[in-house]
Amino acid sequence: MGGGKAVIAPSAALGDVVIEAIGIGKTFPGTRALDGVNLTVRAGRLMALLGENGAGKSTLMNILAGVFPPDEGTIQMDGQSVRFANPQRALAAGIGIVFQELSLIPYLSVAENLFLGREPRSASGLIDTRRLLAESTAALQRVDLAVDPTTLVADLRIGQQQLVEIARAISAHVRVLILDEPTSSLSGHEVEVLYGVIRELKRRGVALVYITHKFEELAAVCDDVTILRDGRVVGTALFRDLTRDAMVRLMAGRDTTELYQKVAFTPGEEILRTRGLSLTGSGVGRRFLVDQVSLSLRRGEVVGVFGLVGAGRTELLEALFGLHPDRVTGELVVEGRAVRFESPADAIAAGIALAPEDRKRDGLVLPMSVAANASLASLDRALRAGFVSERRESSYVGPYIDRFRIKIASLNQRVVDLSGGNQQKVILAKWLATAPKILLLDEPTRGIDVNAKREIYAFIDELARAGLGLIVVSSELPEVLALSDRVLVLREGRVTAEFARADATPERVLHAALPDSSRVAS
Amino acid sequence: MPESKATAFLTRFRSLLALALMVIALSLLSDRFLTPDNGWNILRQISVNLCLSIGMTLVILSGGIDLSVGAILALSGALAAGVLKQGLGIPGTEWMLQFTPSGAILVGIGVGAAAGWVNGIAITRFQLPPFVATLGMFSIARGLTMLWTGGFPITGLGDAFGHLGTGALLGMPTPVWIMLALTAVFVVVTKRTRFGRHLYAVGGNVRAARLTGLNVARITTAVYLLAGALAGVAGLIVTARLDSAQPNAGLGYELDSIAAVVIGGTSLAGGRGSVAGTVLGCLIIGVLNNGLFLLNVSPFWQQVIKGVVILLAVALDKANARNRDA
């Protein structure tokens, strides 16, 4: 790669191009994640990558860091085409990445984590512990982290773990460093330390790519901005040439009408109400995952819940569904009666159903058939003289399968072989068989192709008109806007805004979801 | 991936095919193999393992494992034999409870169920991994058996009780009756009841089962309770057949039953498999043991061969799963 040690020019006006992505395309089953994306990263400069959830930022970073290859396009490093089989190869070539989800091994020490896979060895071939500790101490000093390198990672706070992760990338002497929302769990001081590290890296000619939702961070460290939307680059500019409003407009601007046209409908009486609903975290911090949420849902109404990753969207639904009885506080009223759910079974008995975000992990029993999955929540209806009658089962499950137009060869087909869209419909069929009054949908169209998406939207609308109340959680802004009669915006577990359908513009909703700069700066 | 009907058939009935091939081969190799007497012999020999293996099937379908069934077998047999022979003294009084053979049978099954229930509680209430919980019960039940028997066999249990192991009805040995009845009951329980369906769901995806409102703890506890009760039944058969409760009865039987379940095609990951498959697994092991014995193969080699069969069966299963998912 570029013949031995690359000579890095002192930061010139723009700096040399270190890494360049040209025409990158990537398709996942059901979604076009990236389409013809170009990205140029220069030595000594920080390129911020902005975009909504699902815009393709993380996919692009994973491709740059060798986590998976692109379907189309090339990546050039120092003008030469490169292709990495795995992140270790990318790291060896000088590309480091700090993931948003921590990728440290909890029960190894800080030092062992820092040099995992590239441990210094002594002549005997064993790990050279003295050098390991010495180099670890040096690496930790650079991120101003005063912990003993022999400490177990599990004993560190999340923010400290994040700094260890950053120290690990730096200590590999990378030429390109990718940071995916690195400040999400850092304290104010730690953020300042990070800025210092970034400035130092820039001085040394390292090229940085930085993914964030927090605009106020950009001013401190950013040089260039690339904005992604729906897997395409919609703008690249010098940071100083862009206003915050211009960036939000570029991130959000999308026509929602192309997705789906909602049929106007007047909701009925209130069916669900919460007051001060809170959910505490189970970790050491005990912070609120859902914080004093008060909401109301009427029959025939679709309430959309929007928020960025970590805003507490899924946790809100879980709290409503009786999943964490010991950690939930606040009032919950269903059909005018105050209730308290000790388990999902209680919630189901009260007429609530939840279609979870991760269908394969939480929604379906993959080895079982379509019929068995669809009848699982309502098996009593299939009993004859106390025994499960398969004929009775298929005769009551069948109509739901037909209603959702699930494409299957037979009811006995294994659910694992279905497409994402059809799997989601099996889950919907399962819940409708329990005759629910309230349907909670968590990312109902994640990983589903466009046509199935439209179908699901139509079903949501149809169910609302049939008198169900629906709460739809989504990280896709156009989806929330297209489906909802009302939009609630969550941020850090709190409702920060509520919009009627007519008032919910992409810009306003996104503004309410993004972290408040004044609060962070103080 | 298109699959011809023939391959699909072969995959589906692979164990059955293997069993048939073994029977044909052994019939050719030994003229003592294919006789009515030897047939009953094999069935009688597998009856104990099948009782344990049915319970183990439930446990493994639920995504767990039970290492305590052999030990529970010994404890149940010893307690049933003990109360039958000497009665049960009520502490602090002069009273002795006397037990009929039926009473002793209920004690044996009840003790097994109780031990299984404790397993279930340890796993659901105290969140112990099934491996650890049942390993603990293994040691507890073995220890209690030694305490109860003082390390000596309890013998001379009478004909009425002995009938359970050595008797026959309408020409069929009693243990075979018991085995057939239990098989029929648990095929229906797993395939045709709500509990059975929920059991597959819990083993197939416990998170989804919980989110669908199933009472995972209750289902899991019931599974271990049933496995314990079935181990109790097995303990009674063993004890009755020998007319004696051996303190070391059932040593290593839990591994034989796991082997039968696995050979029968039930996935150790849970959620996939069947009682019918386990019956085949038990038959394969039983026929193999019997055939090798008739062929005068050394018992040491028998163990080696059984190990190879287990590895082959699971390797084939894995290869199949890969083909299916590709």
CATH for B185: 1.10.3470
Instruction: Give the 3-state secondary structure of chain B.
Output: CCCCHHHHHHHHCHHHHHHHHHHHHHHHHCCCCCCHHHHHHHHHHHHHHHHHHHHHHHHHHCCCCCCCHHHHHHHHHHHHHHHHHHCEECCCCCCEECCCHHHHHHHHHHHHHHHHHHHHHHHHCCCCCHHHHHHHHHHHHHHHHHHHHCCCCEECCCHHHHHHHHCEECCEEHHHHHHHHHHHHHHHHHHHCHHHHHHHHHHHCHHHHHHCCCCHHHHHHHHHHHHHHHHHHHHHHHHHHHCEECCCCCCCHHHHHHHHHHHCCCCCCCCCCCHHHHHHHHHHHHHHHHHHHHCCCCHHHHHHHHHHHHHHHHHHHHHHHHHHHC
- DSSP code for A15: -
Amino acid letter, residue A32? R
CA B297/CA B315 separation, integer angstroms: 25
- Indicate if the alpha-carbon torsion angle B78, B82, B84, B87 is positive or negative: negative
Contacts of B200 in chain A (CB under 8 A): 365, 367-368, 372
Three-state DSSP state, A119: coil
> Nearest 5°: phi and psi at B266?
-85, 135
Q: Which of A251, A208, A210, A301 is nearest to A500 (CA)?
A: A301
Q: Does A12 touch chain B (CB under 8 A)?
A: no
Contacts of B197 in chain A (CB under 8 A): 372, 375-376, 379, 388
Low-confidence ranges of chain B (pLDDT < 70): 1-12, 320-326
Q: Does A363 touch chain B (CB under 8 A)?
A: yes
What pLDDT, on the 0 to 100 scale, is given for residue B323? 57
Q: Minimal Cα distance from A364: which residue of B?
A: B208
CA A59/CA A67 separation, integer angstroms: 9
Structure tokens at A267: 């909701």
Q: Quick check: is B259 in a domain?
A: yes
Q: Minimal Cα distance from A355: which residue of B?
A: B211
Q: Which of A197, A174, A171, A178 is nearest to A115 (CA)?
A: A171
User: From chain B, which residues contact A within 8 Å (Cβ)?
Assistant: 188, 191-194, 196-198, 200-201, 204-205, 207-215, 267, 271-272
What pLDDT, on the 0 to 100 scale, is given for residue A5? 37
ipTM: 0.86
What pLDDT, on the 0 to 100 scale, is given for residue A518? 35
pLDDT tens figures, A228-271:
888 889 888 888 888 877 887 788 765 444 556 677 778 889 99
Q: Minimal Cα distance from A360: which residue of B?
A: B208
Structure tokens at A339: 């209730």
Q: Quick check: is B17 in a domain?
A: no
Q: Does A435 touch chain B (CB under 8 A)?
A: no
Q: Minimal Cα distance from A318: which residue of B?
A: B211
Distance from CA of A322 to the nearest CA of B (A): 10
Considering just the CA atoms, what is the radius of gyration of chain A in Å?
25
**What are the distances in angstroms from CA A186 to CA A138, A143, A190?**
21, 12, 6
What pLDDT, on the 0 to 100 scale, is given for residue A85? 86
Among the partner residues A354, A367, A368, nearest to B211 by beta-carbon distance: A354
8 A C-beta contact, residue A304 and residue A470: no
**What are the distances in angstroms from CA A257 to CA A260, A474, A504?**
6, 17, 13
Q: Which of A65, A73, A78, A74 is nearest to A18 (CA)?
A: A78
Distance from CA of B309 to the nearest CA of A (A): 25
Interface probe, candidates B194, B212, B219, chain A, greatest A C-beta count within 10 A: B212
Asked if the domains at A1-94+176-181+207-253 and A270-521 fall in one CATH topology, the answer is yes
CA B262/CA A231 separation, integer angstroms: 47
End-to-end CA distance of chain B: 7
Cβ-Cβ pairs closer than 8 A, A with B, add up to 73
What pLDDT, on the 0 to 100 scale, is given for residue B4? 55
8 A C-beta contact, residue A278 and residue A327: no
Q: Do A368 and B200 touch (CB under 8 A)?
A: yes
Low-confidence ranges of chain A (pLDDT < 70): 1-14, 29-31, 53, 101, 253-261, 283-286, 449-450, 516-522
| Residue owning tokens 């092991």 | B285
CATH of the domain spanning A1-94+176-181+207-253: 3.40.50.300
What pLDDT, on the 0 to 100 scale, is given for residue A7? 37
Q: Quick check: is B2 in a domain?
A: no
What pLDDT, on the 0 to 100 scale, is given for residue A475? 81
pLDDT tens figures, B263-312:
998 999 999 999 999 999 999 999 999 999 999 999 899 889 989 988 88
What pLDDT, on the 0 to 100 scale, is given for residue A216? 75
**What are the distances in angstroms from CA B10 to CA B3, B4, B5?**
11, 10, 9
**What are the distances in angstroms from CA A453 to CA A30, A31, A402, A417, A457?**
10, 11, 17, 19, 6
Q: What percent of chain A has pLDDT over 70?
A: 91
Containing A321, the helix (H) or strand (E) segment is none
What pLDDT, on the 0 to 100 scale, is given for residue B185? 98
What pLDDT, on the 0 to 100 scale, is given for residue B6? 66
Interface probe, candidates B211, B272, B320, B322, chain A, greatest A C-beta count within 10 A: B211
Q: Quick check: is B21 in a domain?
A: no
CATH of the domain spanning A270-521: 3.40.50.300
Residues 6+ apart with CB under 8 A from A236: A224, A225, A226, A227
Q: Minimal Cα distance from A417: which residue of B?
A: B325
Q: Do A348 and B213 touch (CB under 8 A)?
A: yes
Contacts of B201 in chain A (CB under 8 A): 365, 368, 372, 376
CA A253/CA A238 separation, integer angstroms: 20
Q: Where are the domains of chain A?
A: 1-94+176-181+207-253, 96-172, 270-521
Q: Do B201 and A386 touch (CB under 8 A)?
A: no
Q: Does A343 touch chain B (CB under 8 A)?
A: yes
> Nearest 5°: phi and psi at B131?
-55, -45
Containing A430, the helix (H) or strand (E) segment is helix A420-432
Give me the domain span that covers residue B307: 29-325
Q: Minimal Cα distance from B207: which residue of A?
A: A362
Q: Quick check: is B281 in a domain?
A: yes
Three-state DSSP state, A132: helix
Q: Are strands A72-77 and A80-82 parallel, antiparallel or unpaired?
A: antiparallel
